[in-house]
Chains A and B, each alone.
Chain A
């Protein structure tokens, strides 16, 4: 495959006939163009590929959330005579939840810094704190749901509540999956240290955990703040 030699002068001539190179004929460009800042230096390294791929996955996850957001927006007023958001939402509780989640994201970032420094103890400690804060968030959320259900505000009550429970619950499910993942990662760090694969996974976990934060910020604003205001 290195059997490539610059192509003929005739082809170079043809490139000139097509100054903006709208056509497909450029066999003659040869090495000069390659060096002209295309920056195409072959496959990227695995860390970039893994991070990039996971980031694209997160984008698609955000698209999924946006479908649930859209459903919530459509059904927000379809309370069918049942309780409204304004009657249900307790902002102080949600503020504590938000605090837990944002703080956990910060600690998660610290754990990443520790993992880059290959410091096992601090990585584990920060991951543990991240997990505990995530679990606290999840506990508060489940407790909130149980409280709603006790007031008769179950997802079966109205389309609004269906959309609310699905949207918030979907985020909660993501946090739950994140906690499972986090536990697995802690076990891996303990058992395997900082191998290349483990570091890639820690990078992805970080991206995931921060993405959950971003979604929560949108959720907190659209569902709770706007819901309590109207």
Chain B
């Protein structure tokens, strides 16, 4: 709840607004319930006793009207908020967004920068103050790509590409996580987000380019194996269209567990 970007601020604003609207009605309701019970407790013989009273058109009208009005009010909020904060909608900015392609692996994150021709694992570096356009898919199971301080999350699913637009206003370091349980290595499926000033970002790109291995189909196949190694590293070059191959299922999906953990025996028997 300490947002560092416009999307996160929008999310928070909506939560705060909606909570206030509802508290306005919820708090009196709770107080009314408690007061009613107290006032008409059996030992209070001073209170009137209406053993047959069970209908009042006016009260009925009010009790239907109150929730309907609140919900109408909130519906407006839902309508506007859903459109304004739609993850697929580009952010308003005079700068061209950075393209980042995200692939969730078992249990790591791969970030491909198609325009810069570099890629990194478990570390997302973005320029501060410039929108970022994420295209997100999964190598195997479902995950959600989520940087709490920047705002909205969205699912990563095999064979599909989801879009997300985020922006960090200031330089800083944030946590990135998966918001959807994805197997035994899920708890450590985190990544670091570094938001850098524009010049440092450019420096990072040029330092990364050319250094380290090349990300091609083979290297990618290696990444799809299950791993709980969370150390970040980078690729100095990326095979063009690799992301497309992953998203259209031309690159094989993650193979899943090679050996079983725990007590379950390998499903070796011929009947399987």
Contacts and interface: CB of A to CB of B under 8 A. Distances in A.
Query: Is chain B in direct contact with chain A in the complex (CB below 8 A)?
Result: yes
Interface of A: 10-11, 14, 18, 22-25
A11 B55 contact: no
Contacts of B55: 18, 22-25
A77 to B, nearest CB: 14
Main secondary structure of the interface of B (DSSP, over half): loop
B58 to A, nearest CB: 12
Main secondary structure of the interface of A (DSSP, over half): loop
Nearest to A26: B54
Interface extent on B, as a size class? under 10
Contacts of A11: 52
Interface in B47-83: 52, 54-55, 57, 60
A14 B51 CA distance: 11
Contacts of A14: 52
A22 B60 contact: yes
B52 to A, nearest CB: 5
Contacts of B54: 23-25
A22 B52 contact: no
Contacts of A10: 52
A27 to B, nearest CB: 8
A75 to B, nearest CB: 13
A115 B52 CA distance: 55
A144 B52 CA distance: 70
Contacts of A22: 55, 57, 60
12 contacts: A10-B52, A11-B52, A14-B52, A18-B55, A22-B55, A22-B57, A22-B60, A23-B55, A24-B54, A24-B55, A25-B52, A25-B55
